[in-house]
Copies of this chain bind each other. A is one copy, B any other.
Amino acid sequence: MKRSEVRSDIAWAGPAKIVIHGLDLCEEIVGHMDFGQMAFLQIFARRPKDDAELRMFNAVMVILVEHGITPSSLATRFTYCGAPEAVQAAVAAGLLGLGSVFVGSLDNAARMLQAAIVDPSQPVDTAAVAQQIVGEYRARKQIIPGIGHPFHKPIDPRTPALFGVARETGYYGPYAQLMTAIGAEAQRQTGRALPVNVTGAMAAVASQMGLPWQICRGLAVAARAVGLVGHIIEEMRAPMAEELYLRIEHEASAHLAPAQ
């Protein structure tokens, strides 16, 4: 049987030394790098090149940590209620719902932007590209990712917050301009206000940072794992899962119960 190479460049450990992405864990990481720098190192396989890059990365990560009571945090709480000894399983259950409905638009927006602008160092006519993209999506009757929000209206307040950091750090570039132009063009063609939402803003910034669209969801998953631990801590202290399950069970099956 032919064998191919099996190789990982991430880490190496000897009895007295651990090296991660080329840095000595005990000498260069612990006590020297914070969690944001470490997350950057793990995802980009290098240190941030300057404070601006790290600040932009941190702004994306912090926005993804906590989204309140969601299907995802409820799945975590219901799982914890049945398996409190397996905190890892409760976090995992909450992550599993981060699919096409809630974070898929992040991948989709980044994919759309990265397909349109292959090399962001080259000049691009964002208005023309936006017009073409909006036309194509509408022709395919497909939802344009990254614009509009059913609840955060008229604008998603996280977009100016994130784009504000992007402007200060130099990451408000062609991708953010294109995303903004797509929102404006969609409004022009449909007559409805469709400003860039947090997903579109994150996709633009992540694209400008050089992250392939396929891995954008990974950032959301990593950050949300932190958030879900917070929900478990609250569920430990002030549980809601058992009360909810009893209520729902009662309501959902009431029509099947025999008449008294």
A positions within 8 Å CB-CB of B = 1, 3-20, 25-27, 29-31, 33-39, 42-43, 45, 54-55, 57-59, 61-63, 65-72, 74-75, 78-93, 95-103, 151-153, 155, 157-158, 160-162, 164-165, 168, 212, 214-215, 217-219, 221-223, 225-234, 236, 238, 240-253, 255-258
Give the residue name and chain of the B residue nearest to A153 (CB).
Answer: B15
**In whole angstroms, what is the CA distance A81 to B94 when docked?**
12
Is A81 a contact of B101 with CB atoms below 8 Å? yes
Q: Which residues of B contact A27 (CB under 8 A)?
A: 161
- Can you list the 9 inter-chain pairs with the closest CB atoms, starting with the nearest? A83-B99, A82-B97, A225-B225, A35-B36, A12-B256, A92-B92, A11-B68, A26-B161, A42-B230
Q: Which residues of B contact A35 (CB under 8 A)?
A: 34-36, 39, 57-58, 61-62, 223
Give the residue name and chain of the B residue nearest to A89 (CB).
Answer: B96
Q: Which of B62, B161, B219 contacts A38 (CB 8 A)?
A: B62
Is A68 a contact of B253 with CB atoms below 8 Å? yes
**In whole angstroms, what is the CA distance A13 to B158 when docked?**
12
Q: Which of B1, B62, B246, B252 contacts A240 (CB 8 A)?
A: B252
Q: Is the interface of A mostly helix, strand, loop or mixed?
A: helix
Is B101 a contact of A26 with CB atoms below 8 Å? no
**In whole angstroms, what is the CA distance A67 to B244 when docked?**
16
**In whole angstroms, what is the CA distance A96 to B76 when docked?**
10
**Least CB distance, A251 to chain B, in whole angstroms:** 5
Give the residue name and chain of the B residue nearest to A231 (CB).
Answer: B10
**Least CB distance, A158 to chain B, in whole angstroms:** 6
Q: Which residues of B contact A3 (CB under 8 A)?
A: 243, 247
Q: Provide 12 A-B residue pairs closer than 8 Å at the C-beta atoms, listed in order of the A residue.
A: A10-B66, A10-B230, A25-B158, A31-B164, A31-B168, A33-B62, A38-B226, A69-B245, A71-B242, A74-B245, A88-B99, A89-B99
Q: Which of B12, B79, B98, B217 contacts A96 (CB 8 A)?
A: B79
Is B222 a contact of A218 with CB atoms below 8 Å? no
Is A72 a contact of B82 with CB atoms below 8 Å? yes
**In whole angstroms, what is the CA distance A153 to B16 when docked?**
7
**In whole angstroms, what is the CA distance A42 to B71 when docked?**
18
**In whole angstroms, what is the CA distance A90 to B79 when docked?**
12
